[in-house]
Structure 1
Amino acid sequence: MASINFLYRSTKEKAYLNLRLLYRHNSKDYVFGAKTKVEVSKIYWSIQHKKKSKDIEVTNLQTEIKNELNKIENHVLKAFNSVNPENITKDWLTSQIDYYYNPPTKDKEIPKDLINYIDYYINYRKNETTKSTLKKIKVVKQLLIRFQAYRKATILIKDINDNFKNEFVNYCKGELYAQNTIQRAFIFIKTFCKHARFLGIETHQQLDGLRVDRQKVAKIYLTPKDLVKIENISKDKLTNSLENTKDWLIISVYTGQRISDFMRFTKEQIRVEDGKHLIEFTQQKTGKNMTVPLHPKVLEVLNKRNGSFPYKISDQKYNDFIKEVCKLAEINEPTTGSKMVETEIGSKVFRKQSGTYKKYELVTSHIGRRSFATNFYGKIPTSLLINITGHSTESMFLNYIGKSNKDLALEITKYF
């Protein structure tokens, strides 16, 4: 009898899993290996894959990867059972993996149900979709899978109408999802349906008019006074990890970049021109080539570290540690916002919950970018700020920092 297991056989931080086929024939043991197209991180495979997680995104990823590995395993074992074991070679196994990913082409019908169409959409736009967008799409897909199981009826694209919207919103609220999470998910649903319509699939006449309102939320950022408090934290209160995190926080606050970008900064990306230090990189989310000047506060951090950036840590650790840093800085004024809260003790299900909390509890990895944009607005021309943050338009930038028409009117009065 044959068995299959999967191995991470790379020194890289992210790699494709290897499949290993093991069986015994005529009192002799055989082992053959081949590479799959299931890509995971070393951290995920060694720590998260088999461990229960409170993080819904990790849980969804576990489900997705386990389902895919089960499909590959079933495919290979079915093929194994249909041939003489003496004919099996490494090339045979490699061809079976290739067959799994590239079966004989047939003119497949475009799916008319929403969940299967999402997979079709991902494949159709695989060369245009960023990793971050793909991750969001897969989260929405998992939500729809749970919703479809709850309603006990297939979600057809042609049935996405006002009744469906109300049913979906009510389900999400019953599951304690935040209003803006529901709104973002519904935007994706409409995107899938409009794409299907483009390819000739029937959609409901109400589709274009459907919308879920967005809830106005407070824009949490670190004020200049907060930043002084952070810089002045007594060193004897900081562990090496918290000191490292504090330095990353200062870097993010004065470069205005996402964690997916600033956590990849290296000293090799820095160049000096006319005595000014610039860092050049490509934004992971947008693909834009960026050149950002390094603020003196960033240079202070680099000089303290002999020209190098702090050591890299995971997004999750960074999110946890910056709360500790801000707590030590006594950034604890009551602030309205939302944070992840367990729905019931021991449920391991977390949802965003609005309320009034100590400010440090609301700090996340994104706060550096928003603090940069907010603190320098009005001091640096908006056109130059947009060049650093990478926002496509001024209206997007102003919405990002929460500026209303009234705020803009008051800004204009400074020039009268």
Structure 2
Amino acid sequence: MATISYKLRPGSNKAAPIYLIFSYGRKKELRYSTGWKVKNPQNWDSRKQRLKVVVSEPLASKINQALQKLEIHFENKYNELIASRIEINNQVLRNELDLYLKKKKQKITLTSYKTLLECYEWYYEYYSVNPLPTTKRPLAIGTVKSYRTSFSVIKQFNDTVYAVNYDRINLNFYTDFIDFLNERGFSRNYIANHIKMLKTIMNYAWEKKFHNSLDFKSKSFAKINEEIDSIYLNEEELERIQNIKLEGRLDNVRDLFIIGANTGLRVSDFNRLTANNIKNGDGFKYLEIKSKKTGKLVAIPLKKVVLQILKKRKGQLPYSMPEQNINNLLKDIGNLAGIVEPISIKKTKGGELVSITKPKNQMITTHTARRSFCTNAYLAGMATFDIMAISGHKTEKSFYKYIKVSNLERLRKIAKHPFFN
């Protein structure tokens, strides 16, 4: 039978640390410093295993409450470890206490068996602070958020439809899960993202030998993406945004967006630029930054419009702002610039193809800047290879899907090639 008690470090006449003593088997005992101290050992009630609430111990009530919470948490965690069939030792127990008291950020039990839901949650929590074996760096903050959302959806399915486990993730589940998401009106790309993440977890668990089910590797168990008619702004529209008179936050957002539209950087990068990122080349200035998403160092020559922004700001870059705030203000900026023509897009939502029409300014986001850069650079005749070096696209196929060029625009570009002249 496992028991928890608290004791002071013996032999101390002054401030004494409080230790948690956990006995969980024959000759199995863990002694762990809680990090809390008693100012005077005489104020410790050994029978109640709590501090006496006296004037000389001003933190007594707070410490007693913390000890109570620690005791409850640790008992529950120990029972979870027993149920998960993990081999329990002092190292595992100490790690759990470190996690609870925030002395550590990640778990160490990498090889212990985990159920599907346990593995799912553990995966994004662990790799949010530890490097992935494939990329050699932790998951990006946005990716962790996506995993957390996807986990909650899988758990909701588990709680309301039927319990999921490794063997249950088969083609029948695939159909049921997509029906479940369609009933909630989710888009096809949103559903595809859930399938993609589930396949990642299943593959990780398979490599860890938690299961031997292989249905998830089937071609029929696929993430079905949909190409959405996302917008881009052409050079004339960008110039209209540059020329309107703005002040305060609107001016700051406009400058951030214009820098993104002329460098191809993601918002996670152009929203954190400083003067230190601006370098001097052989007669020209360029921007150098380590991509937050890929970890690669990117160097981009600065166009005249970006240099004008630097001059206006006396060599400083626009200050960083929350992405949601930027997106909201970009719609106002687009409206002030007269970019309001109606745009219709088609997407699959809830299993049905729907058409949505909005004023173009309502569709401008931080990502529009990056897409505009790639599309405008392509139409201006820049080599695809050079654009991809900046954008980070790994294949031309993915690049051509990303840029937004109409058949007529593509035809105009091809017509300018020397072959046709």
TM-score (norm 1): 0.70
* Number of aligned residues: 333
Are 2:131 and 1:127 aligned? Answer: yes
Shift of 1:265: 0.6
1:220 aligned partner: 231
Deviation at 1:371, TM superposition (A): 0.2
Match of 2:378 in 1: 377
Question: Displacement of 1:264 after TM fit?
Answer: 0.8
Partner of 1:31: 59
Q: Retained in 1: the 8 A contact 2:233–2:372?
A: yes
Counterpart Cα distance in 1 of 2:333 and 2:252: 10
Residues 1:147 and 2:168 aligned together: no
Note closer, same or farther for the CA distance 1:188–1:21 as it changes in structure 2 (3 Å cut). Answer: farther
- Cα deviation for residue 287 of structure 1 reads 0.5
Q: Which protein is bigger by CA-based radius of gyration?
A: 2
Give the Cα separation in 2 of the matches to 1:166 and 1:158: 15
Give the one of 284, 289, 307 matched to 1:281.
289
> What's the secondary structure of 1:241's corresponding residue?
helix
1:319 aligns with 2:327: yes
**CA offsets per residue over residues 3-58 of structure 1, 9 Å max, x none?**
xxxxxxxxxxxxxxxx99999624234439x9xxxxxxxxxxxxxxxxxxxxxxxx
Cα 1:320–1:106 shift into 2, 3 Å? closer
1:277-324 per-position Cα deviation (integer Å, ceiling 9, x unaligned): 111111001101111111111011111111111122111111111111
> Contact conserved, 2:299 with 2:390, CA < 8 A, in 1?
yes
Q: Secondary structure at the match of 2:289?
A: strand
Aligned-pair CA distance for 1:163: 1.3
Aligned to 1:366: 367
Q: Distance in 1 between matches of 2:68 and 2:293?
A: 33
CA RMSD of aligned residues (A): 3.7
Deviations 1:235-269 (A, max 9, x none): 2xx34111111111111100111110001111111
CA deviation string 1:84-143 (max 9, x = no partner) = xxxxxxxxxx99952747799879642232x21113433665312322332221221122
Change (3 A) 1:191 1:410: farther
Aligned ranges 1:275-354 → 2 under 5 Å = 275-337=283-345
Deviations 1:379-402 (A, max 9, x none): 211111111112223222222115
Q: Which of residues 388, 392, 396 in structure 2 aligns to 1:386?
A: 388
Are positions 1:74 and 2:57 aligned together? no
Distance 1:200 1:284 in 2: 32
Which aligned segments of 4 or more residues in structure 1 are displaced greater than 4 angstroms?
A: 19-24, 76-80, 94-97, 101-108, 402-413
Q: Secondary structure of 2:269's match?
A: helix
Contact 1:110 1:120 (C-alpha < 8 Å) held by counterparts: no
SS of 1:255 mapped into structure 2 = coil
| Residue matched to 2:91 | none
The structure, 1 or 2, with the larger RCO (C-alpha pairs under 8 Å, 6+ apart) is: 1
Match of 1:184 in 2: 193
Query: Paired residue for 1:84?
Result: none
Provide the C-alpha distance between the structure 2 equivalents of 1:223 and 1:112, rounded to a whole number of angstroms.
50
Q: Residue 280 of structure 2: which of 264, 272, 278 is its match?
A: 272
CA distance in 1, matches of 2:375, 2:107: 55
8 Å contact 2:232–2:404 — kept in the other structure?
no
172-181 or 208-217, which deviates more: 208-217
Structure 2 distance, partners of 1:284, 1:141, is: 24
Letter matched to residue 366 of structure 2: S
Distance across 2 between alignment mates of 1:95 and 1:137: 24
Paired amino acid for 1:127: P
The SS at the match of 2:357 is strand
1:220, 1:337 within 8 Å by CA — same for their partners in 2? no
Given the superposition, is the C-alpha separation of residues 390 and 73 from structure 1 closer, same or farther in structure 2, using an over 3 Å criterion? farther
SS for the counterpart of 1:335 is: strand
Question: Cα–Cα, structure 1 residues 302 and 76, in superposed 2: closer, same or farther, change >3 Å?
Answer: farther
Distance 2:194 2:147 in 1: 9
Deviation track 1:196-249 (CA, whole Å, cap 9, x = no partner) reads 12222334443222114222210311112211221222x2xx341111111111
2:302 and 2:217 map into 1 onto residues whose CA distance is 45
CA distance in 2, matches of 1:252, 1:107: 40
Tell whether the 8 Å contact from 1:338 to 1:362 is kept in structure 2 after alignment: no
Structure 1 counterpart of 2:7: none
Cα–Cα, structure 1 residues 325 and 21, in superposed 2: closer, same or farther, change >3 Å? farther
Name 2:182's counterpart in structure 1. Answer: 173
Indicate the SS of the match to 1:201.
Answer: coil
Q: Distance in 2 between matches of 1:144 and 1:230?
A: 43
Letter in 1 for 2:358: Y
In 1, are the aligned partners of 2:74 and 2:97 still within 8 Å (CA)?
no
Where do 5+ consecutive residues of structure 2 fail to align? Answer: 1-34, 39-49, 76-93, 133-137
Alignment partner, residue 83 of structure 1: none
Match of 1:252 among 260, 264, 268: 260
* CA shift in 2, pair 1:293/1:106, >3 Å: closer
Alignment TM-score, normalising by the size of structure 2:
0.69
Residues in 2 aligned to 1:369 and 1:72: alpha-carbon distance in whole angstroms = 52
